[in-house]
Structure 1
Amino acid sequence: MEYTENIDQALEYANQAIAKMRDIGVPANPNNFTVWFHYYSGTYPDLKRTLDILLDNQQAFSETRNSEIFQKFFTLDQESAILHDTTARMEGELARIVTALDGAEDNYAMLDSDLRNFQEKLAQGDQANDMTAIVDSLNGRIGNVLEHNSALEDELKSSIKEIDELKEDLERMRREAMTDGLTGIANRKLFDLELRKSSMNAMANGEELALMMIDVDHFARFNEHHGHQVGDQVLKLVAVTIAECIKGQDTAARYGGDEFSVILPRTSLDNAMKLAENICKRVSSKNVINRATGERLGKITMSAGVATFEYGEPISQLLVRADHALQEAMRNGYNQVLTQVDLKDSVA
């Protein structure tokens, strides 16, 4: 997890977290502090939604519940348990297939032996009654093999179906673990992984890497005036628009709250800026309508900051530059895109 908060912001979130834990009787241990710090920083929208529901319902934060929340959002324990269970089930199915094929091999070996014996007796010219007995025995053996093959086919089909279902379970687990619950695009966990991977690929291949940070202008005020359901509708609109504008190599993510990010491999600063301007323009061109009332809510504008990766630097510095460019765009009046070149003060 990379952080972009400055000292004052981090201190404010920390104080809010400690005060909240004291207020609801949650022990201020490191795990619980991590949960509530990120609740106030808005890093994990799904975490904030979960905690808001629990708070609204006046649920008690027991030691078990605190542990479950931490494990769900800040560890891979849940994914590991599902993966372990699925792997064990897949190993069981593969063992069944191997056992079934071993049985088929034994049957074929016995049939082969019988055929050789039959061939030898034919060569010896035995009496007809002996021949009849041999044919009856051979027919019985072939019948057993065919019957076993039919059962083997059914067993193989069953195992293949089970393995396909296990593959679907694994894929669903991967999507759920890496997808933002509201917008359907990448969550912060996947963003961190992809940004780290993209920076390593950029250095290894000598390619450019750009990062875009986007924030919905005055979103808190919009939420207060129109309600969270309409606000969620806007966030979905932004996510869909970003996804429509980017290429297959790019990664769009919900960075936190109303802030989005886009990782742009093999993209220059100039092209990243043009893409950010296009995204903001397309969002502002849409008329937002309250689905429940039909009320037209006007246009949504956004601000964006863009930065490029410098080989060998910590990822946190790239994040800070992009975030500072975004903050500068907002200070300058919103509804605009700025890049690291536009920053008044250099970022170390």
Structure 2
Amino acid sequence: MAQSWGRKVIHSARASEDDVQPSSGASKEATAVYQNAGKAFALIEQHRTPPDPQAYALWYAYAAGEDAQVVERVDQLLANKTTLSPYDIDSIYQELLLPDTGQAATQSIGGAIEKEIESVLEIIQQSVSTNVTYQASLNDVETRLPDASSGGGLASLVSRLVSDNRRMIDTTKELSQGLSDSQKQLATLHQELEEVRNQCMRDPLTAIANRRAFDDRLEEEISHAFASGGKLCLAMADIDLFKQVNDNFGHQTGDSVLKMFAQCIKGNIKGHDMVARIGGEEFGIILPQTDVVSAYNLLVAIKSELKASEVPVEGDPTRIASVTASFGVARLEAGMTMRGLIEQADKYLYEAKKAGRDKVKAQGL
């Protein structure tokens, strides 16, 4: 089925953009869809992209121009090469175009929590109602007690009191059990919700933080640094010639390199430091309470450890050695925005690449 889809896309891509036209009387929305589809097919052919559903979804989103992140990411990649690799396409698709299953799961669990809370409130309301009824019965017995001079009347009131008391005990036990069950269910749901939230903030391949978590944390650390007058450095890291690893050894080996690099960084940072996979082979390292010299020395150590490591090749006795990465470091300065800090670190990362790769470039060093 995938091959059949691919043949259809190739055939359509060979048509010019103007050949893809809506039928007469189509709405503006339909016309835009047809036009963007034509542009997507043309882009697939122009950039020699594999004609599969993910590639079409990517180029359609790029042609539509409604998602600024997709446009920016594609433009960045095309600035350095003429085509997008399958890995590039998959990375952008997974990060920016795949439906947010985490959000759907969060909403589902949230709905279950609401229902369970409603159940708890019903139990409490029922308990209050039962207490009111029991209190009314006690008041009635108390009212009748002075007139129950005969043994038979007194025995009747005592019997009623005992019966009401037993019923109250049974109802209370039942309500307590229901409340206990609801509390356990709420605890389970809250735990599941926390797990889903953690998954939404974690890169599934490397098990470190993802771009969303990185953005949230960096914004938080910048605010804290400005409020406290503390130091903050940001490092951007990029694995050198990573495309060659994928092309020569396959994506499974490429994934192993990404995992190794992530763990190499994670094993060297500490405290409130944070490493995140920004996308593809690019990583961000947030270093609170760290000056530029200390950040530079840390990254040199990480760079050296990475270069000395080896990665096995899937299904082959070969091991990849001397994997290198480039690093750029910037420090937070007065009035600097989060975007400005990232751009500054990216600038030094570019300088490290330009200087021959396997380098650390830092502000002022």
Query: In 1, Cα distance between the equivalents of 2:264 and 2:362?
Result: 21
- Aligned equivalent of 1:230: 253
For residue 229 of structure 1, report the CA deviation from its aligned partner: 0.5
Equivalent in the alignment of 1:26: 60
The separation in 2 between residues aligned to 1:214 and 1:320, in whole angstroms, is 13
Partner residue of 2:90?
A: 49
Alignment match, 1:288: 311
* Secondary structure class of the residue paired with 2:361: strand
CA contact (8 A) 1:208 1:267 kept: yes
Percent of matched pairs sharing the same residue = 28
Report the alpha carbon displacement of residue 152 of structure 1 after superposing the two structures with TM: 1.2
Gaps of 5+ in 2: 1-38, 47-55, 79-85
Q: Give me the whole-angstrom Cα distance separating, in 2, the residues matched to 1:271 and 1:51.
A: 33
Secondary structure, counterpart of 2:99 in structure 1: helix
Query: Is the Cα–Cα contact under 8 Å of residues 42 and 256 in structure 1 kept in the other structure?
Result: no
Q: Tell me how far apart the structure 2 counterparts of residues 307 and 37 of structure 1 sit (CA, whole Å).
A: 22
CA contact (8 A) 2:40 2:60 kept: no
Question: Could you give the per-residue CA deviations for residues 179-198 of structure 1, whole angstroms, max 9, x where no partner exists?
Answer: 22211212222222222222
Normalised TM-score (structure 2): 0.72
What CA distance in whole angstroms lies between the structure 2 residues aligned with 1:164 and 1:112? 33
1:72 aligns with 2:129: no
1:151 equivalenced with 2:174 (yes/no): yes
Higher RCO (CA-CA < 8 Å; seq separation 6+): 1
In the alignment, does 2:287 pair up with 1:264?
A: yes
**Shift, 1:219, TM fit:** 1.6
**C-alpha distance in 1 between matches for 2:87 and 2:216:** 18
> Does 2:116 match 1:93?
yes
Counterpart residue identity of residue 311, structure 2:
V
Q: CA deviation at 1:294?
A: 3.8
Checking the alignment, whether the CA contact within 8 Å between 2:106 and 2:193 is kept in structure 1 is yes
Residue 325 of structure 1 pairs with residue 348 of structure 2: yes
The root-mean-square deviation of aligned C-alpha atoms, in Å, is 3.4
Query: Per-residue CA shift, 1:74-109, capped at 9, x if unaligned?
Result: xxxx66665555444323322221221122123233
Tell me, in whole angstroms, the C-alpha distance in 1 between the residues paired with 2:91 and 2:319: 30
Report the counterpart of residue 265 of structure 2 in structure 1: 242
| Counterpart-to-counterpart distance in 2, 1:230 and 1:255 | 19
Aligned with 2:242 (options 203, 216, 219): 219
Counterpart of 2:332 (choices 306, 309, 314) is 309
Mind listing any 5+ residue stretches in structure 1 that lack a counterpart? 1-15, 54-67, 343-348
Distance across 2 between alignment mates of 1:181 and 1:36: 23
In structure 2, what is the equivalent of residue 8 of structure 1? none
Aligned residue pairs total 308
Q: Which residue of 1 aligns with 2:12?
A: none
